[in-house]
Chains A and B, each alone.
Chain A
Amino acid sequence: MSDRPSLHVEPGKVVLSGAWTLAEMLPRLAELQAGLAAATEGNRQWDLSALTRLDSAAAVLLWRAWQAKWPACLEIGDIHRRIVERVAELPQEMPPPPVARVHLPEFIGRYLLKAAANLRGMIALFGQLLLDTVFLLRHPRDIPWREFTANVYKAGALALPMTALVGFLIGVTISYLSALQLKSFGADLFIVNILGISIIRELGPVLVAVLVAGRSGSAMTAQIGVMRVTEEIDALSTMGISRSIRVVLPKIAGLTVAMPLLVLWTSAVAMFGGMLAALLQLDLSLVYFLENLPRVVPVSNLYIGLGKGFVFGFVIALVACHFGLHVKPNTESLSANTTSAVVTAITTVILVDAIFAVFTRQIGVPQL
């Protein structure tokens, strides 16, 4: 093919021909670079008039081979000369793009400041919610019922199958493992206590919180984040519609209402799984189990579980909305904030759970 870039060294003169373009040069780049480097030695005359095409990538290559000086004698077409001139006009010393160096103290400090800013943002959001609630109590016509019910449906009803499946499996697992231990002590009947207290009081709420943080929390952050990227939030504001009343409040209220219901449902299914496993493993009849459950597990455990669900739902939605509202208009920020939302939500839920454990330690545990 005549169009391939080629280079001949004639006595005292270098002749370039063919199409010197990036696409044509790529397959034999090393060869051409070596050829140019060799040709530059002692040659002051260049003939580029036989070139069919010259693009700027090739022009840069030539200019570098000429060590940023015009050769003493150069034959070149006008269009091609213009292309090389463009390269020649560039400043010789290009500053390399700055590379950000990270120092450890700076990194930690920045991290702490960011955490403080997030905490402050969430408190501000909470305050805004209180103000909105007061406003809505005064103007009940503005309560966004449709958005609220839609959120209850999305975060609650649609999560039922998944939480049921996970709850059931966890119930079976705990029951099975406890049964093995209890059998060796001959304390089979205590399976009811163990399952009842652990699932209703602790596992049900935390399990649902983790699942919901991953499922609904991330969805909320992503949705609000994309609405920010596409300027939908701004569009709402320009129509005089408060973003916190229409977007944030229904999400938080919806999840806060849906979570206790989900906790109840998941605890029930987990108990059922535990009962089945106890029946198979210990021959404990379902009737016995159900008759003894209210006796050994005080009802205050259920209240604690539901209360936890209520608080967890609120925390997850608040964290998710806070991070969603702070998404910057780029893809990196969207993914970073969604990750932060889920991680922060789960961490906060476990923290709140520990606080619950400390303050409710006197309540609902039967004293033997």
Chain B
Amino acid sequence: MNRPTVIELDGVSTSFRGNTVHRDLGLRVKEGQIVGLLGGSGSGKTTLLREILGLHRPDAGVVRLFGVDLNDPDIRAQRNIRRRLGMLFQHGALFSALSVYDNIAFPLRELRCLDEDWIRRLVHLKLAMVGLGAAHGKLMPAELSGGMVKRVALARALALEPELLLLDEPTAGLDPDRSQNFVELIGELQRELGLTVVMVTHDLNTLAGLASHVAILADHHIIAYGTRAEIMTIDHPFVTGFFGADRRKLL
């Protein structure tokens, strides 16, 4: 299949105060893939995600989203790119001063093109998509449980109908049952909306339930990238250590 490349990382190098995080890292994610990004603690997964989002500029190398270089000086091009991606932060990052409803409506209102009725329908639609009711819209983020914060954050990430969804530890802090629901929810949304998803996770069940592809970050670069079956055959200390006896679980 010759589908367009959504994320393209080329020769990315990053270091913090002399500590190398990434060295000459490359990755290509094609449309419609669900990529699980794996790596040990402190291997720079979140940094990589921040670089894809353009929140952190690598010391060297190029990051391209939808074929546009993130260093492109054109502000409008930059803004258009940002509108095509949604991010689910690990702790939700909901705006604590706004209600759930306003949190989801916020990016829609910022477009300054949609009328209030349209926004209202869309917000209720997103709330329904993540399994929340209209009554939840009035709550403030401080009144939500951990799982609900994740759901609202997902609804907000989906508000602008992104083509690329980035998830940082989507199921961390949820109980197994909730996390299974959340995985199914994301999978269903991905199929319906044709999203490309990149997620950082430590949870094997999440990985097995969602990911079509796995990228492994170790020794400062992506040591392996392929479908789940391909990854299993790789002989690398990190892979054997991470999956251990559970290798088959991933399949």
Contacts and interface: CB of A to CB of B under 8 A. Distances in A.
Contacts of B113: 26, 29
B142 interface: yes
A134 interface: no
B161 A22 contact: yes
A331 B120 contact: no
Contact of A330 (B134, B140, B191): B140
Contacts of B114: 57
B97 A331 contact: yes
Nearest to A97: B101
A95 interface: yes
A330 B125 contact: no
A60 B128 contact: no
A56 interface: yes
Interface string B15-29: 000000000000000
Nearest to B111: A26
B185 interface: no
B96 A53 contact: no
A53 B194 contact: yes
B186 interface: no
A55 interface: yes
A329 B141 CA distance: 9
B121 A87 contact: yes
Contacts of A96: 116, 120
Interface string B96-140: 110101100000000101101110111011101100001001101
A243 interface: no
Query: Which bracket fits the contact residues of B?
Result: 35 or more
A182 interface: no
Interface residues of A, number: 31
Contact of B122 (A23, A29, A57, A95): A57
A23 B80 contact: yes
A55 B161 contact: yes
B220 interface: no
Contacts of B102: 97
Contact of B134 (A60, A86, A95): A95
A55 B124 contact: no
B64 interface: no
A94 interface: yes
A83 B125 CA distance: 10
A330 B96 CA distance: 5
Contacts of A57: 114, 118, 122, 161
B160 interface: yes
B193 interface: yes
B122 A64 contact: no
Given A29-B113, A330-B96, A23 B84 contact: yes
Contacts of B128: 86, 89-90
A97 B99 CA distance: 10
Contacts of B116: 96
B192 interface: yes
A283 interface: no
Given A56-B161, A64-B118, A328-B142, A97 B137 contact: yes
B121 A60 contact: yes
Interface in A88-145: 89-91, 94-98
Interface string A321-332: 000000011111
A330 B141 contact: yes
A244 interface: no
B83 interface: yes
A90 B121 contact: yes
A55 B193 contact: yes
Among B118, B120, B122, B160, chain A packs the most CB atoms within 10 A around the CB of: B122
Nearest to B102: A97
A90 B124 contact: yes
Nearest to B80: A23
A361 to B, nearest CB: 48
B133 to A, nearest CB: 11
Contacts of A90: 121, 124-125, 128
Given A55-B161, A56-B125, A94-B117, 19 more contacts: A22-B111, A22-B161, A23-B160, A23-B163, A53-B194, A56-B122, A61-B118, A64-B117, A82-B192, A86-B125, A87-B125, A89-B128, A90-B128, A94-B124, A95-B134, A97-B102, A97-B137, A97-B138, A328-B142
21 contacts: A21-B161, A22-B160, A23-B83, A23-B161, A26-B113, A56-B125, A56-B129, A57-B122, A60-B122, A60-B125, A64-B117, A64-B118, A83-B192, A90-B121, A90-B128, A95-B134, A96-B116, A97-B102, A329-B142, A330-B96, A330-B141
